[in-house]
Amino acid sequence: MAAVPHRRHHTPAGADRPFGDRRSRGRRWRHHHSLRWALADARQRRRHHAARRGPCGHDDLCRGRRGRRALDRRLAGEADRSRHDLRDPRRLRTRERGLVRRLRGHARGGLASRERARRPVGNVLADPPLRGIRVVEVGNYMAGPFCGMQLADLGADVIKVESPRGGDLARMLEPIANGESANFARLNRDKRSVAIDLKREAGRKLFSLLVRSADVVVENLRPGTMNDLGLAPRDLLNSDPRLVYVAVTGWGLDGPNADRPALDIIVQAQSGLMSVTGEEGGPPVKVGVSIADLAAALYATIATLGALRARDRDGKGQLVDISMLESAVSLAVWEAGVHFTTGEVPRAAGSAHKLVAPYQAIAAADRHFIVGATTPPTWTAFCRVLGLEGLERDPRYADATLRRHNRDSLIAAIEAITATKPAAHWLAALRAAGVPCGEIADYGDVFSDPHLVARQFFMDLPHPRLGAIRGLGSPLRLERTPVRHRRSGPLLGEHTAEVLREAGCTDDDIARLEREGVVSLG
């Protein structure tokens, strides 16, 4: 049987061969069209398609070689890019799949694995995980933009589509300096802003064109808004079966309350969070941070990553429906366990835990501190540090559950001792004994915390009008593919021209769109 042409280049594992031979082998096989396409990253594929689309205008957005009918067919979804997508390894012959793996470095002796071996270790590491993924974000304030920020942190190219008339409503949030919101700049780091009027037909065509080159759409508009604009999620999904469409709403896309407006505080109230926050017997209290918005954003991020992974397997995108209400209710883990088991309705208990004690704020001579002595060893150590061995022997406090039922008398006995000395004294003694405890910090303390500073959690990012902005880093610490930050949030329309050029528009087309009020260039 005749040998396969390239097989003569194979050598046993560990055998020496000139490095130049390996490189030339890789270059020669990269000329194979299907392999070139499979190895290309998303940016290279978008550049290839943009070059073929040709220039775009405000009425006939992309004339190209095939004229307006070709554009109409694309926008109507007739040109399904997934039919021609050769990234799926099942589309390649077995022999070519092995070559793709070897050239990417996923097989023993692959070129990329040899290149990685020569890279320095430390801060210069691999590309972030979502490099090559493009996200189109449409939204205001918190939930959608915070999800977009997580995806940008992980390396996605996030294009934030805003109205030319003011943009994201978060741009009006104080503090304002030089006409720019510092909070907006922090929440929208590493995104690109494109200002398009989606109420105009030409603007909607531009949006559809951007979505055609995207992997994900994230929006947190009121349900039905995109339908009213003529950009229904189902239509966008039908036009590109590989698209992942993420809708973050207050109440979900269906159900009796789907059309209600939602704010974080409304969802906190209706999710039960406010009923268990605050002092026992006191009025309902809002959680200090926008927990409903933020929880929904994090769930949206998780769901996006899951949908992208599913697409890797079968090549199909999907609709992701994230509700702020369900996100907030899902946090009631202990409360649900109690209610579904006993029928009891959980109530606010201040800083105390609902199930165990002592696990709460304790008063010292100068301030409160936190302690969590709930296991037998930590309870024993806690009593000995305070000189309260009698509590350890008292049957009312024999275990954490009994201590919770007798919490009032327990805390009174504890604070009779702790109120005699400052918090720092007790914290030092308890830590030495291995009892979990901590200071109750305000954000002035937190934002200069030596531990966070040592881990370089805070960072300064450049902004074109505000200069260097200090903000919070990402808690996502991936050793091999770390998150990377480049800049603060964009000016309104700062990247409109750049992104439209990538979509195939000429400078004349962009200038005409600006004159017509369809786009703003910032």
The residue among 485, 137, 472, 458 whose CA lies nearest residue 289 is 472
Do 42 and 95 belong together in one domain?
yes
Cβ(130)–Cβ(476) below 8 Å: no
Cα-trace Rg, the chain: 29
pLDDT at 7 exceeding the cut of 80: no
Q: Which domain holds residue 249?
A: 134-330+463-520
User: Is 452 among the domain residues?
Assistant: no
User: Is 68 among the domain residues?
Assistant: yes
Do 209 and 288 belong together in one domain?
yes
- According to the model, what pLDDT value does residue 302 have? 99
Dihedral (CA of 185, 461, 288, 155) sign = positive
Which of 92, 117, 142 terminates a domain? The answer is 117
What are the C-alpha distances in Å from 37 to residues 41, 48, 90, 137? 8, 10, 14, 27
User: Is 123 among the domain residues?
Assistant: no
Do 93 and 44 belong together in one domain?
yes
Which of 58, 87, 117 terminates a domain? The answer is 117
- According to the model, what pLDDT value does residue 126 have? 75
The residue among 247, 202, 256, 250 whose CA lies nearest residue 227 is 247
Task: State the virtual CA torsion across 304, 306, 308, 313 in degrees, nearest 10.
Answer: -160
- According to the model, what pLDDT value does residue 51 have? 54
Dihedral (CA of 388, 390, 394, 396) sign = negative
Q: How confident is the model at residue 53 (pLDDT cuts 50, 70, 90)?
A: low
- According to the model, what pLDDT value does residue 113 have? 39
The residue among 498, 502, 493 whose CA lies nearest residue 521 is 493
Rounded CA separation 494/519 (Å) = 11
User: Is 479 among the domain residues?
Assistant: yes
Do 113 and 138 belong together in one domain?
no
Rounded CA separation 268/270 (Å) = 6
Residue 378, classed as helix, strand or coil, is: helix
Beta-sheet pairing, 467-472 with 458-463:
antiparallel
Where does 59-181 have alpha helices with state H?
A: 67-75, 94-104, 111-117, 143-153
CB-facing half-sphere around the CA of 389: CA atoms within 13 A: 2
pLDDT in tens, 174-209: 999 999 999 999 999 999 999 999 999 999 999 999
Do 68 and 41 belong together in one domain?
yes
Measured from the Cβ of residue 329, the count of other Cβ atoms closer than 10 Å reads 18
- According to the model, what pLDDT value does residue 107 have? 44
Rounded CA separation 246/221 (Å) = 11
Catalytic residue among 157, 240, 293, 509: 293
User: Is 15 among the domain residues?
Assistant: no
Do 96 and 180 belong together in one domain?
no
- According to the model, what pLDDT value does residue 462 have? 97
Task: Tokens 């902004």: give the residue.
Answer: 463
Burial class (CB within 10 angstroms; exposed 0-12, middle 13-18, buried 19+) of 108: exposed
- According to the model, what pLDDT value does residue 522 have? 81
The set of long-range contacts for 223-229, using a CB threshold of 8 Å and a minimum separation of 24, is 223/247, 223/249, 223/253, 223/258, 223/259, 224/259, 226/138, 229/198, 229/199, 229/204
pLDDT at 308 exceeding the cut of 60: yes
Do 140 and 111 belong together in one domain?
no
pLDDT at 172 exceeding the cut of 90: yes
From 5-14, 188-197, 274-283, 405-414, the region with the lowest mean pLDDT: 5-14
Which of 60, 84, 117 terminates a domain? The answer is 117
Is the overall model pTM greater than 0.75, yes or no? yes
From 67-76, 293-302, 414-423, the region with the lowest mean pLDDT: 67-76
Q: How confident is the model at residue 212 (pLDDT cuts 50, 70, 90)?
A: very high
Do 150 and 226 belong together in one domain?
yes
Cβ(71)–Cβ(77) below 8 Å: no
From 77-81, 270-274, 294-298, 340-344, the region with the lowest mean pLDDT: 77-81
Residue, of 101 and 11, whose pLDDT is higher: 101
From 108-117, 374-383, 464-473, the region with the lowest mean pLDDT: 108-117
Q: How confident is the model at residue 18 (pLDDT cuts 50, 70, 90)?
A: very low
pLDDT at 6 exceeding the cut of 60: no
Structural tokens at position 295 = 């929880």
User: Is 212 among the domain residues?
Assistant: yes
pLDDT in tens, 235-252: 999 999 999 999 999 999
Structural tokens at position 337 = 């366990």
pLDDT at 393 exceeding the cut of 70: yes
- According to the model, what pLDDT value does residue 56 have? 53
From 52-56, 141-145, 227-231, the region with the lowest mean pLDDT: 52-56
Beta-sheet pairing, 244-249 with 318-323:
parallel
- According to the model, what pLDDT value does residue 65 have? 43
- What share of the chain has pLDDT > 70, as a percent? 76
Residues 6+ apart with CB under 8 A from 359: 352, 353, 371, 372, 373, 374, 400
Q: In what order do the strands lie in the sheet with 437-439?
A: 359-363, 368-372, 437-439
pLDDT at 14 exceeding the cut of 70: no
User: Is 67 among the domain residues?
Assistant: yes
Annotation marks residue 293 as catalytic = yes
Measured from the Cβ of residue 120, the count of other Cβ atoms closer than 10 Å reads 7
Do 106 and 160 belong together in one domain?
no
Rounded CA separation 486/458 (Å) = 14
Do 28 and 63 belong together in one domain?
yes
In terms of phi and psi (left: phi > 0; alpha: psi -120 to 50; beta: otherwise), the region of 254 is: beta
Dihedral (CA of 471, 477, 483, 484) sign = positive
Residues 6+ apart with CB under 8 A from 144: 137, 138, 218, 219, 220, 221, 248, 297, 300
DSSP state of 8: G
Do 110 and 138 belong together in one domain?
no
CA angle 76, 81, 87 (to 5 degrees): 165
User: Is 401 among the domain residues?
Assistant: no
Do 100 and 138 belong together in one domain?
no
CATH number at residue 313: 3.40.50.10540
Domain count, the chain: 2
Average pLDDT across the chain, whole number:
84
Task: Tokens 């159900």: give the residue.
Answer: 255
